[in-house]
Structure 1
Amino acid sequence: MTRAAEIRAINCTNCGAGLDVLGGGRVMSHVCGYCGSELDAQDNYRVLRRYADLVRPDSPLAIGMTGTLDGVAFTVIGTLGMEESWHGEYWRWVEHQLYSPTHGYVWLSWEDGHLVWTRKYRGHVDPMWISTDRVEAAETRPTAYSRGVRFRYYETTDARIAFVEGEFNWRPRLGDRSTSVSMLADGAMLSYTGSAVEREIELTTYPDQAATLAAFGADPRPRPRRVHPVQPMPDGGTVRFLVTWGLILAVFSLVLGVFMSALVGREVLNTGPIPVARLPAEVTFELTDTRRLTVIEVATDVSNSWAWLELSVTDPEDEPVFEVGREVGFYSGRDNEGSWTEGSRRTTFRFHPAMPGTYTAELSVPESETWQRGGAAIGQVRMSVTEGRSSGFWLFLLGGLFILVGVAAALRRGIRRRARWRGSDWVDEDDDDD
């Protein structure tokens, strides 16, 4: 017998509360949200049983809300609070039965801050059924195929009903149990679900969270911290594009950087050794290349000592170009691991000349000091100037950034993959989750 589809409201035959009838003509039971009575929708809503003191689980959805999934209008008609326990641990989630006059009955579940959409799957699946016994006997992670997609075993769930309210196209009872063997692919999950009365294959997908909540008029919820297994992976084609082109552009940048660094330029000054006693000293040099860099290198003879160098440069119009101070230091010795050295006796200054002509450099050593008794204080300096130098620094940096883009894309996909499979109960450590 099928209940008349035109009924829109009833009064609970136990407590008299007004109840909306939302689920169409195939509804079999209606659990009153006021007194907890289960009513037989196929037999004048007579009372079948009562559930007292049920605590409604938290969910952004409620019975009577209407929204769209994949362009189809659905109404929330029933709510189940589900529970699974294992060795003292509990997992809880909420399943809402939805109804559409054109597309029938589906489930929209609230799990760990995620909405997931489940409906019966009518496509061909190979194998047609995977039982818990088959999973337990398997030496490798079981797989299933449907429409060219490979699904791999994720988990087995033994769930019980802990809360029930609203209309259903079957007769759920408090404490009823069902077992699901879940198989995961990218962005979808197939579940072989069996209970005491039926077996079904169901498909679960991940709708747009904010859009779905908004479509049903539900309040926004904070973004969950954990990744849900059916959350879509970052697009594989995009990741391959970023990795491939990141590598290509990185190689191009690095090769160009090496080429630019190989342009050694032309030496325009080499002072030879200058005793520190003669400092500060001024030297002049002629520059003609204003397109590329000019490099000033100062070499010292510090040994287990350090010195503070100050260098100022003025242009042909006697205007300051730069004035800078820098420390040089070189240290060496032996320890139980052998000989060691640290620091450098040289330092380099680079600038881009604005005009050709005669430039003046002034070098001084206002401060120096030895390290330990074996140190030798600075005794002399040597200055050289080279014009027309090119630097590959920015190209090397750009190449590094291209590499980071590719690595970040691949790493993000790898992290998401691991996060999706983290909840799997398959324990073979050698298995490669994909």
Structure 2
Amino acid sequence: MHYICPLCKTENTIDADFEISEYVCKSCSNLINVPQNTSTKVVKKPIENVVLEVGQKGTIDVTDYTITGIIIRKYGNSIFWREYYLKDKKGQDAFLSESDGHWVLLHPIDKMEVKRKSWNSIILEYGSLKLRRYETTECHIHAAAGFFEDKLDFGLTTYKEYVNGTQMISEEKSKDGIQYFYGKHISKYKVKKTFNIANLPNYSGIGIVQPFYVNVKQAINILAVSALIICLIQLYVVATRTNALVFEQEINFSDVADKEMISKSFELSGGSAPLNVEVSSNVDNSWANVGLGLVNEKNNEIVFASKDIEEYHGYEDGESWSEGSKNESFNFCGVAPGKYHFVISAERQEPLKTSRPAKYLSPDGNLSISREENGTISVTNQSTFETTSFGYAKMIKKDSVSTLGQLVHKILGKADIDSLLNANAQAESISATPENKSVKIKAEWLPVSFRNFVFVLLFLIALVLGLYFGRKAFERSKWFNSSNSPYTYS
């Protein structure tokens, strides 16, 4: 359909089939009465955050719509919202209302379908739906554009909005009577995609029918099913768990010197669980190291681990101290069922070597010579108890000046001091610390841990509680600006 403006002669067209009473000329903004083809008044062009155009088409929920008109309503001095008039191919009406970036899709309904106990009741019923009055607003048309089936009413119009979740009933009262509209929240992104909008209106606050960010009922169902599946998996893992002690052996360090040892194979059956390894060695002021490679014989994958065993002790400032331990343990986490073996390597701190203590006493008893564990040689005059220590035997014979040196030369003459000492002790080296010969390795496949299972269930419960109380807080915020809020605010 097309109409020629009687004032500016501009052609105004719309691709829709319905009876038009008035239209606003797109050029001169005159409101034209179609039957009389005369101007009723000049109206403002809608420019405040208007993002759709008259004649634009889009499909919402499989229904094709054409935008036939745009109305901007004004409340007070600075509050605006936009109403877009829609027509489908059957000539049925729908409306897109947008305020602060929140969108609602509305359809006209028969006022006989709406029930309430009294005219001033804040509760309204529509079918099985009970809605609570959100607010009462008086407004008027601020700007308009497009084609209209009924004459526009520029007088004061009273709106009462009744809300239940994401649904609402809008009651519009004007001099022409009362109309009711049923509305539901529609995603702004859906509107953007439907009408191919480049930019969305400014978004702020919470819309009166805006849904919570998550579908709580659906989320709880999903979490409940997830918890059930986790419980069944845990039950299966526990029921199929069989092995406990899988490996135990004492390994001599001499058997793995500069090489690796391959253990016997062992079978793990049931669900995945930690493989605990305990290693122990008779370290004493020394250290040892054990390297283990866990080899999956099915795919030859190998996981390496290494552990130091250290134990030290002593005396300092009159007090004893100790650190470390002869036993250590570690885990291979989450080992799956299958056939495995260990690749074992080990090393130790080599024991400190020293000479065996020895002592020589001259036949006349006047001179004694002793060799300590650290190898030093002490010479003592048994009459005067004068003692001198030497690093090695040859240094004793070089001293011919001191009284003790002269006594050594007098009694021993040319005798070899080392020979005299060795005659009283074997000359072999001994260890300054106990010798550590082996390491014990023990591997146990631990029982299936319930810790992670409990943590997951607690997390799911916390998530459900978070969703529940989060939605309650969201609803409280939504009703904050309502004079009929069911909530109390401090």
Q: Provide TM-score, normalisation by structure 1.
A: 0.63
Cα separation, 2, equivalents of 1:323 and 1:260 = 27
Alignment CA distance shift 1:282-1:101 (3 Å): closer
1:296 pairs with one of 277, 284, 289: 277
1:126 pairs with one of 115, 131, 154: 115
Structure 2, unaligned stretches of length 5 or more? 311-324, 351-435
| 2:266–2:341 CA contact under 8 A, matched in 1 | no
1:14 pairs with one of 7, 13, 34: 7
Alignment CA distance shift 1:10-1:352 (3 Å): closer
Alignment CA distance shift 1:51-1:347 (3 Å): same
Alignment CA distance shift 1:357-1:221 (3 Å): closer
- Alignment correspondent of 1:47: 39
- Alignment correspondent of 1:185: 164
- Alignment correspondent of 1:349: 331
SS of equivalent residue, structure 2 residue 228: helix
Greater RCO (Cα-Cα under 8 Å, separation 6 or more): 1
Alignment CA distance shift 1:118-1:405 (3 Å): same
- Alignment correspondent of 1:150: 130
1:422 pairs with one of 477, 486, 489: 477
Alignment CA distance shift 1:119-1:403 (3 Å): same
Alignment CA distance shift 1:282-1:25 (3 Å): closer
Cα separation, 2, equivalents of 1:417 and 1:246 = 24
Cα separation, 2, equivalents of 1:222 and 1:23 = 26
Cα separation, 1, equivalents of 2:147 and 2:95 = 13
- Alignment correspondent of 1:5: none
Alignment CA distance shift 1:10-1:118 (3 Å): same
- Alignment correspondent of 2:221: 241
Cα separation, 2, equivalents of 1:145 and 1:201 = 12
Which stretch shifts more, 196-205 or 347-356?
A: 347-356
1:392 aligns with 2:448: yes
- Alignment correspondent of 1:362: 346
Aligned-pair distance for 1:108? 1.9
Aligned-pair distance for 1:281? 12
Alignment CA distance shift 1:172-1:295 (3 Å): same
SS of equivalent residue, structure 1 residue 295: strand
1:167 aligns with 2:147: yes
Cα separation, 2, equivalents of 1:125 and 1:384 = 81
Cα separation, 1, equivalents of 2:258 and 2:278 = 15
Cα separation, 1, equivalents of 2:218 and 2:8 = 58
Cα separation, 2, equivalents of 1:300 and 1:428 = 78
- Alignment correspondent of 1:58: 49
The CA deviation string for residues 229-259 of structure 1, in whole angstroms up to 9 with x for no partner, is 4456665663343132222223334455666
Which stretch shifts more, 31-40 or 399-408?
A: 399-408
State how many pairs are aligned: 371
Instruction: Tell me the amino acid that sits aligned with residue 276 of structure 2.
Output: V
| 1:250–1:399 CA contact under 8 A, matched in 2 | no
Sequence identity percentage: 12
2:173 pairs with one of 181, 185, 194: 194
The CA deviation string for residues 343-363 of structure 1, in whole angstroms up to 9 with x for no partner, is x99541337898777864526
Structure 1, unaligned stretches of length 5 or more? 1-7, 135-141, 275-279, 302-306, 330-343, 367-379
Cα separation, 1, equivalents of 2:329 and 2:118 = 74
Cα separation, 2, equivalents of 1:210 and 1:60 = 13
RMSD: 5.2
Alignment CA distance shift 1:294-1:165 (3 Å): closer
Aligned-pair distance for 1:64? 1.6
SS of equivalent residue, structure 1 residue 290: strand
Alignment CA distance shift 1:269-1:180 (3 Å): farther
Cα separation, 2, equivalents of 1:357 and 1:177 = 88
Cα separation, 2, equivalents of 1:308 and 1:429 = 73
SS of equivalent residue, structure 2 residue 115: coil
Aligned-pair distance for 1:11? 2.4
Instruction: Tell me the amino acid that sits aligned with residue 64 of structure 1.
Output: G
